[in-house]
A and B are shown apart, each in its own frame.
Chain A
Amino acid sequence: MSMPSVEVTKTRDLLTKTSEKPKSKSFNKFKQVYLGPIIAFTIFIAIWQAVPTILDLKHYILPKPTDVVGAAISDWHLLWPAVQITVVESLVGFLVSAVIGILVSIILASSKILERSIYPYAIVLQTIPVVAVAPIVVIWFGAGYNSIVVISFLIGFFPVISNTLMGLNSVDKNMDDLFLLYNASKWQRMWKLRIPSALPYMMAGLKISCTLSIVGAIVGEYIAGIGGGKGGLGYSITVAAIQVKTSYLFACGIAAAILGIGFYLLVSLFANSMLKSWHESAVKGEK
């Protein structure tokens, strides 16, 4: 009787020796960071599943999570291409707004006169709800892809320009003096001082802009239609709404949300790699 129990304690010892420390540490982290959200999510899904059953709601009023997943799986052949189309549209819209936003900011910031005369109008333009001008965009660029990208660009553009401009104009006074003392030219100051100083602001602008560009693409699809091609998420949503395919509507909404989160994480990753060596926002995790 005594032999096996000794062996058991031995193996237990071995187990605790080799694995307890790192395991308990990572488990602690898991407990602190992930456990709460996971429990909250599970409860939320459970309530969602229970409410339509208890109140006897029709699936076209409030579909259960299982209905939504079912709809996503059965209509996957529609959902997946729609997601792909929206990804391309919002990605192009985002890239265009990033490039043009940064370029315009640099041009405006390089001349005080230019900035003073043009920036107020940029703010006025920003206050125009893009949805209100979207039909004009459709008239100019035709139904479909081009208009959708333009609308996505229009929505994503302003956060980039306003953040970048703020960054370019908030250079530390002493650093400015330093460049003055070394007789730096205007463009040396721009490239070696102002643009690097503005990077954190620029990245903040891009983070806002990337999620907005998805909003832009979906709104664009509502308004500009599909122009003969296949439709993206926005188009799927309008069609599903007309057909009262509520479960599929939910699936589209969730797909759009996942898209937004993924896009945001990607841009954050890019921002962190740009700033990793020096900026507080990117080095926090290190300490």
Chain B
Amino acid sequence: MDTIHKEVVAFQHVSKVFNNETVALKDFDLSIKEGEFLSFLGPSGCGKSTALRMVAGLGEATKGSVKVFDGSPKEIIKETNDLAFVFQDANLLPWRTVLDNVLLPLELRGGNKKKHKQEAIRVLEMVGLKEYLKSYPRQLSGGMKMRVSIARALAAKPKMLLMDEPFGALDEITRQTLQMELLDIWQKENMTILFVTHNVYEAVFLSTRIAVMSASPGRLSSLIDVKLPFPRRLKVRTEQEFTDYVDIASDRLENGNERKELA
């Protein structure tokens, strides 16, 4: 990672006010570089999901601008396959098999069906679900559903993966496995990942950088560079350095939100 990476996402003085006058984001500034694994960490209501959704063009800034790959999010969605989004619940279509769910993004874009199928099988293999091509979502566990959802996001070979608390509903053991798998995929596919979470351990374990946010109004309170080496395995969690980062992140999370209470 010694090359100079170009900027892929730029938030410039972004504010977002919803109809009912809640300020979801206030004067949010952030520049994200290619190849980063950046987590938005914060309590509920801090605007972290709002920020992520803006990158995907799901919702526009009230003030300021969001740029993705030097374009507007809406243009990028329309013209490229560069963005993929993973929702909190797996969000699979229950009437489609695992394979057909993964094929969906390719199908919607049109093109060669045989190639699509090869690609879908490749990504399903990557998440370890090659045996379940013909299963329906209701037959899968929560963790497997999330794997399918990740495979679907990867199917169109995006340059950036946006993940909105994808592991929030999973049990701890499944979550840890998926976190490691995600890191493997991130390194193998050379992607940028933006990841929303309210779990400090998750943020430290996964990220190269953490954007700590605070609530009402939602804003960026600090940035933490996480310099733990890759590949990160389960054992990292018991090392002093990891614990130090967790301490820092927890502190900043608390301070950021105390400041609000004083003001």
Which chain A residues have a beta carbon within 8 Å of chain B's beta carbons?
172, 174-175, 177-184, 188, 192-193, 196, 199, 277-279, 283
If A174-B87, A178-B87, A183-B108 touch, whether A279 touches B58 (CB-CB below 8 Å) is: no
Per the CB 8 Å criterion, the residue count for chain B at the interface is 23
List, in ascending order, chain B residues with CB within 8 A of A172's CB. Answer: 91
Minimum CB–CB distance from A199 to chain B (whole Å) comes to 7
Partner of B83 from A181, A193, A199 at Cβ < 8 Å: A181
Q: Does B93 contact A (CB under 8 A)?
A: yes
List, in ascending order, chain B residues with CB within 8 A of A184's CB. Answer: 108
Minimum CB–CB distance from B168 to chain A (whole Å) comes to 14
Kindly report which residue of chain B lies nearest to residue A172, judged by CB atoms.
B91
The answer to whether B105 touches A193, judged by C-beta atoms less than 8 angstroms apart, is no
The answer for the CA separation of A179 and B83 in the assembled complex, in Å, is 13
Q: Does B256 contact A (CB under 8 A)?
A: no
Partner of B85 from A177, A277, A278, A283 at Cβ < 8 Å: A177
The answer to whether B87 touches A278, judged by C-beta atoms less than 8 angstroms apart, is no
The answer to whether A181 touches B94, judged by C-beta atoms less than 8 angstroms apart, is no
Q: Which 8 A-B pairs have the closest CB atoms?
A: A278-B94, A182-B108, A278-B95, A196-B95, A174-B91, A184-B108, A182-B105, A174-B87
Kindly report which residue of chain B lies nearest to residue A177, judged by CB atoms.
B58
Kindly report which residue of chain A lies nearest to residue B85, judged by CB atoms.
A181
The answer for the CA separation of A178 and B148 in the assembled complex, in Å, is 14
The answer for the CA separation of A193 and B101 in the assembled complex, in Å, is 12
The answer to whether B91 touches A181, judged by C-beta atoms less than 8 angstroms apart, is no
The answer to whether A278 touches B137, judged by C-beta atoms less than 8 angstroms apart, is yes
The answer for the CA separation of A278 and B95 in the assembled complex, in Å, is 5
Q: Does B89 contact A (CB under 8 A)?
A: yes
The answer to whether A181 touches B56, judged by C-beta atoms less than 8 angstroms apart, is yes
Partner of A181 from B58, B89, B95 at Cβ < 8 Å: B58
The answer to whether A175 touches B93, judged by C-beta atoms less than 8 angstroms apart, is yes
List, in ascending order, chain B residues with CB within 8 A of A180's CB. Answer: 57-58, 77
The answer for the CA separation of A283 and B136 in the assembled complex, in Å, is 12
Q: Could you tell me which residues of chain B, from 62 to 98, have a CB within 8 Å of some CB in chain A?
A: 77-78, 83-85, 87, 89, 91, 93-95
